[in-house]
Amino acid sequence: MSSIKGTGGKKAGAVSGAKPRVDKKTGVSSVPRVAEDRLNVSASAQQIDDLFQQLSDLDDVNAARVKSVRESIKKGNFPIDYQRLADKILELSDELNAEDDD
């Protein structure tokens, strides 16, 4: 039986509020117990959990790339594709206008 304690300091599995039973032959009293709860996790589930943990540890931003771009902008040698920039601004504007219409 598990040695994990539940509320009230009783061992896990003990039926709360149950009266002890006395074995007539041996005179030994015992508290009725319920089956222990168990959780079996497959190896695949454990691998998936490990992968999620690794993903949560990753940075959302590539700090080295951000630093490189900032330095290029400060030095004035960061290439800007003005047509692409204009297209993206228009896309964003269209998205914002579509949200306002909803």
Would you write out the chain's pLDDT as a tens digit for each of its 102 residues?
A: 444 444 444 454 555 566 777 777 777 777 767 777 788 888 888 899 999 998 888 878 888 999 999 999 999 999 989 999 999 999 999 999 988 776
Spell out the domain ranges in the chain. Answer: 43-101
Task: Quote the pLDDT of residue 99.
Answer: 84
Read off the pTM: 0.33
Nearest to 33, CA basis, from 15, 8, 6, 9: 15
Alpha helices in 1-102 (DSSP H): 43-57, 63-75, 82-101
